[in-house]
Structure 1
Amino acid sequence: MAGVSFSDDKFPQFFKVFIPKFSSNHMLIPPAFVGRFISRVPKRVVIKDNSGKCWVVALVTVEKDLYFENGWEMFVRDQLLKFGDFLVFRYHGNSLFEVEIFGGDGCKKEIVVASPQVKVMVKEEEDTLKKKVPSSHAYNHAHIEEIGLDGSTKKSSSPTKHGQLKKNPCFVVTLEHSKCQVFMICIPQSVHKGVKFEPDMKLQYHNSKLWPVKISTWKDGRCFISSGWKKFRQENDLKANDKCKFELVLGEGNVCKEIKVTCQSKVQ
């Protein structure tokens, strides 16, 4: 649950109800709030509680939605957030949010545990800071297997060096309820190492029609099927617990223009 305040307070506000299933690793900022008050999205923001303690949190855009991401888990842990806690965010501009937290009883929560106060310079130049996202990123929580060139399967591991690949690399993902996985799928680094993706990619489902998608590559080397995945998943009625095989179809020079997708749980 979320809402946006347009009161006389000179600083715009929004509220969120904390639901661990959806908000433990990241939290969606209401799109109406973003569209009205955040004209330029910084890479990092500071969240300050009413005791003055601060947390630096990265902002991540997934299609048109904006999330509190890297650093959010620490905020949740330090604030001992529980199901039903009510959070009111006030945006001061220049990458600064203040937050007030109310418990399920309607009373403002007293801070029991908090991280040391972070001394930061809150300014828009923070856009130039290097974005660091740990390997424990929420989008990597899906069950992912790599299928070796010999047909064997194993958990994704560190990437290895490849020349011209003789066979198409593959991986398997068991889909989850995660909102983020509705919008993107992570391609294991050990699978896409050495692969060159075309700007306009296609997904082919069970050797039928083609769906246009985009491949997003992050600074830390991780790679995602992003724009277009949501429509592909919806139109092919892919749901949580479906086990999907992704095959990167390679041409000369390990150039990939197409990824074949097979839902193993729907193959007769």
Structure 2
Amino acid sequence: MEKPLWERDSFFKVMIGDFQTRLRIPPCFHEHLSGEILVKSVLRSRGGRRWAVMLRREGKNLFFGEGWECFVSDLSIQLGEFLLFVYDGDLGFDVKIYGITGCEKVDPIASMKVEQEEEMEIREKVPAKTSTALIRAPGRRREILNGRVILGGLKVFSNESALNSARSFKSSRPFFIATYRRSRQEYMTIPASFMRECDLGSMEAIILQDQKGRSWPVRIAHWIGRVAMAKGWAKFRDVNHLKEGDVCVFEFLEADTAIHVHIFRAKQNTAGVLRRAGNKKREQEVLKAERSFRTNAIFASIFLKSRKYNLNIPTRVLKEYDAAKLSKTTLRDPSGRSWSVDIKHRVDGRAVLSHGWFNFCRANHLQVGDICIFELNDGIQAMDVHIRRLGLHAITAG
């Protein structure tokens, strides 16, 4: 009989160092694993999702190796977070994640209610003779249109024209409609009816194609009968510049085992990335901030919640300073402190400040709407960061 959770052996780890690529199991815990064939383990999240992770020995040390990166990526585990591993006695661990706030984090995908998304629309085949009608159901709306059923919550969409354009989409292939929200930054739920019709239940990955013909492999996450596009979705989102309110039609291409995504833009997002922080006035302040420097070797960016972990480096800067192979930079803040920050190059040719950028933001107490002005000293290998607080004067590095 399996022991209750509180009676099982466990250990905890704080996420520091190179935790994103591997994690060392405390040596004192090895005794609980003695006699086992240390090849593969299973990690389980609180939401019931599972990851196969290889155990690797290096001398007297034992690490979570291959598969660990997927676990970290899928659950968005960040520097400084606290993980509790509870052993099941058979090379499996139930993992609880505590954020830097001290509170337990919830698996964002597993916390969703299947087919009860407020803004998800599912299209299923119905008899062709069915006439157009509106059927009310508890907490849901069912609209029969052009021989297909549209299911959705009663919430009104912020961009009616984008939604109407998506609704007018016609295809002989299965498809569903979803509105992009901030809550869908890391994943996109696949309706159960769509999953069954396209036989996605046994698939581990699928290809997403955009309207320009570009393709991205996306991992399909399965848990307790639910399915979502997980790892790889964020890359598709970034390259296609999805903004809140944009409406996506996901059309299944059986011959290619792929999903073609048709994007209908929300009007309020056509002004560009900068206006997400507030309004046109703030955008003008960014341009004014750039012009206030005598040198042209600068670029500026408004701090947003979505830029807490990654910040785009302008393409013009990458080209001008031949930074295609640069992997690190040093940022100097207004207090004279230095921060080593990784530069991550994406498949679409863009580059972002990644590992280390969050630490810089936290130490400098960046808030939404603050403007960061990056002054290049030696290309982008070293940059002074001047901070202009929302409503205040600039804080200059140096």
After TM superposition, the score normalised by the length of structure 2 is 0.35
After TM superposition, the score normalised by the length of structure 1 is 0.49
Greater gyration radius: 2
